[in-house]
Amino acid sequence: MSQHQCTIRKVTPQDTPEVLPFITAARHSLFPGLKFKTTILPEDVSSWIASGHFLAAYTTKSPDHLIATIGFVPYDYRFPRLEFHGRKTVEVVRLFVLPEYRRSGLGNLLFRQSRGTAEGLGVEVMYLHTHPFLPGAVEFWENVGFGVVGVEEDEGRRTVHMKLELKGEGS
């Protein structure tokens, strides 16, 4: 699928009933071995959608068919060893592209749009964490400019912390 066969829209709180199940299903497919307390995501994801900047991609053939998401939210400093204090930092969350639409450039397109929004808001650092067991994840983020700032074991799985310094802001 080429990038031109989809439309990308900003997610609004009214879209939550559609987007939340998509994100929940994505989480379950990416982390099948984890035991989840509920079948839906905690309320934090709903509040992320309301407070953050989320995008959703839909196929042009079926405008209601959600195929990908990405978002960013204000970073909450839950990893104190990461040195982002005093800098406007956001966390990139929930980039998920349905398997049949991967390797089409869609993830890259979604990220570029999110990055542009962040730059327009004066964000200095974009942070994310990912896991090496997710095929291609670390490489994808490195290819769009992120660098590894730490690796740790977390609940039996490796977590890779990454950041991107936005141009002109401490880079």
Q: Domain for residue 100, yes or no?
A: yes
pLDDT of residue 170: 46
What is the average pLDDT across 106-129? 96
CATH of the domain at 111: 3.40.630.30
pLDDT bin (cut points 50, 70, 90) of residue 66 is very high
Per-chain mean pLDDT for the chain: 85
Do 58 and 65 meet the contact criterion of CB atoms below 8 Å apart?
A: yes
> Is the pLDDT assigned to residue 62 strictly greater than 60?
yes
More reliable by pLDDT, 95 or 23:
95
Whole-angstrom distance, CA of residue 5 vs CA of residue 9: 14
Domain count, the chain: 1
Q: Domain for residue 101, yes or no?
A: yes
Whole-angstrom distance, CA of residue 106 vs CA of residue 140: 12
pLDDT bin (cut points 50, 70, 90) of residue 143 is very high
The one-letter code for the residue type at 140 is F
More reliable by pLDDT, 23 or 8:
8
Q: What is the pTM of this model?
A: 0.84
Structure tokens at 64: 């209601």
Q: Domain for residue 171, yes or no?
A: no
pLDDT of residue 28: 67
Q: Domain for residue 170, yes or no?
A: no
What is the average pLDDT across 104-131? 96
Q: Domain for residue 138, yes or no?
A: yes
Per-residue pLDDT of 10-58, as tens digits, reads: 988 888 788 888 887 777 677 666 555 554 445 666 777 777 799 999 9
Q: Which domain holds residue 95?
A: 3-165
Q: Domain for residue 139, yes or no?
A: yes
**Which of 12-21, 80-89, 104-113, 131-140 ranks highest by mean pLDDT?**
104-113
pLDDT of residue 2: 52
Closest CA to 75 of 83, 65, 66: 83
